Each structure stands twice: as C-alpha cells, then as structure tokens.
Amino acid sequence: MKPDRRNGILGGVLVVLSLTYVAGLLSHRTPAAPVVVPSFKTSAADHITAGSSELRKRDAGGWQISIGGSWYPADSRKVEHLLSILSGLTAGREASGSEESWKTFRVDRANANPLTVEAGGSTIVDLLVGESSSAGGVYVRVGAAPSVYEVFANIDSYVSADSSFWSDLKILPRSLTVDSLQTIGVTAHGFSVGGTTVDADYMLESSVVGGKNAWVMSGNSGRMLDQKKVLSLEAEIVQMVGERFVPHPTSAETGLGEPTAVISISDEQGSSWSIEVGRRFGSEFYVRRSDRPYVYLVNEWTLHRAIPSLGDLTSS
C-alpha cells in the first residue's frame, strides 16, 4: 500500500473514533440542574411573604416590614439578597415527584414555610420550604407542581426569621460617616448603667489644632480631650443600632416626653440629628431619633459607651 493512501485511511479512522467518543460524552452528559423558579425577575418584586414576615417595597424605593400592623424600615440589602437567591435557585436533585411524599418532606401547605413574591398584586413566586435534608440542603416545592427538590441555599433561614432580622435598626443615616461629623453634644440627667450615673452637658467640635484635625471642647474651656476616646465615641454613635422596633409606643411607656439623655450631632454639610433616650426597659432603653416616628429598644451598654461623662473623654 502506498504511504499516502495508508495515511489517509488512518486519518479517516481517527476522525470516526473522535466523533464516536464525542457522541458518547454527549449521550452520557449529566442534564443541567433544573431552575426552581424560572423566568423570575428580581426587579418586578414589590411584596414578599417569608414565613410569618410580610414585606413591601415603598414607592420611593427600599423595603418595609410589617410589625404589629404598622410598617417600619426593612433592611433592603437582606431583601435583595433573598431575591438574588431566588433568581438563581437550582435543584441539587429531584427528591420526589409524588404528591404522597409532600408531608414526608414537610412541603405541604399545612407544614411548609411559605415564601411568596408578588408583583402588582399577582403572585410570581410561590415556594413552599420544608425540612432540612441530611446532606445540608432543604426541600422545596413550587406552587401546585408535584416535584420536591433538594436545594442547597440558605433559603430556610429567611422563612424562619422574625421581624427583627428584617428590620433596618440603624438609627442614624447609613450615609453618615465618622469623617463627616462636625459636632457632638451630650446632655444627660441621671442616666445610669452598671452603677455609673452620668450628669453631663457638653459640646465637642471638630477643629484643626497645630495643623491637624482634632476634637476640642466648645467654648474654649481649656480641657484637653483624649482624641482616641472621642474617635471611639464617634464610631459608637454613627454605628448605633437598636435591638428591635417598639410597635405602638406611648409617651407614658417610653418616657421620651422627658428624655433621660440626648445625643446631638451635626455634619459638615449642616445637617443635624438628635438621639433621645427615654426610660429603661430591662437591659435596654427606649430610644428615638427626633426626626423620625420610630421608637427603638437599644442595649444599655451601647448607650453607656455613647453617653460618656466629660471626664471620661479628657486626657488622663
């Protein structure tokens, strides 16, 4: 046989073998994991029921959580993360395709945690979240469909969360930073935590001393401030969060008609806020930001750090 003809035959055999190999791979390829909620667009969502929690999108953007029949600010970052999980939720496997198995996996209406998403009054997601699997996943079912899927996403933590999880409990605006603060004022009349009582009335100002930024006492009192302690005070105030909202508060309950302490701050742009501290409630205090209708419960030690005596801020 001539060499060129032999090479041609060998080349043809290799092509046939290659095509056969590829065809074999394609025929045995694992099918793509089914998308649990197909064609879901996160931007369309405007109402969510997650377990016992009800959330709605505000007209001006952001989300709210229903507590005691009233609406409070919700942490939009958590809501958007949940919607992101739904948009990419794929099944690890189909655990069952039979309605008779729903109770076993606790994805029947009577036992499942519901997760529904609406857009303009129409339901676009109807997910029933059941029990956790031994492999670390959770079983879910969509609407009236018979299939039970095992998914590996922390979606069960969202449907079992209470209103405090969803609440945006940061008291001051998220846009406010320690670098933008201009003044910090503290007044207190018998504010007491851990056996320490604070009676104070002072104002601190951000200034320039010796060519460096520094906090000073308003009124040229001559008292030297410990800059590290004031910086810690700044961070404590700016980052302050509540433990939960107080539904339907009354002045008699909260004592905010005559606050025990007030923290007043302003920023470089001239905006100002006041945090008012009312009565004690166990290990917490009732707190309100003067320009908002919401009342928070704030841990006593958070407030203890945010309301120091002037002596606590001066250099030793």
Give tens-digit pLDDT for 67-83: 999 999 999 999 999 99
241 to 23, 170, 295, 306, 307: CA distances (angstroms): 60, 4, 12, 12, 15
Rounded CA separation 269/276 (Å) = 22
Q: Is residue 252 classed as helix, strand or coil in its secondary structure?
A: helix
Confidence of residue 4 (pLDDT cuts 50, 70, 90): low
Question: Identity (one letter) of the amino acid at 48?
Answer: I
Residues contacting 134, CB < 8 A, separation 6+ = none
Mean pLDDT of 236-244: 97
Mean pLDDT of 38-44: 88
pTM of the model: 0.81
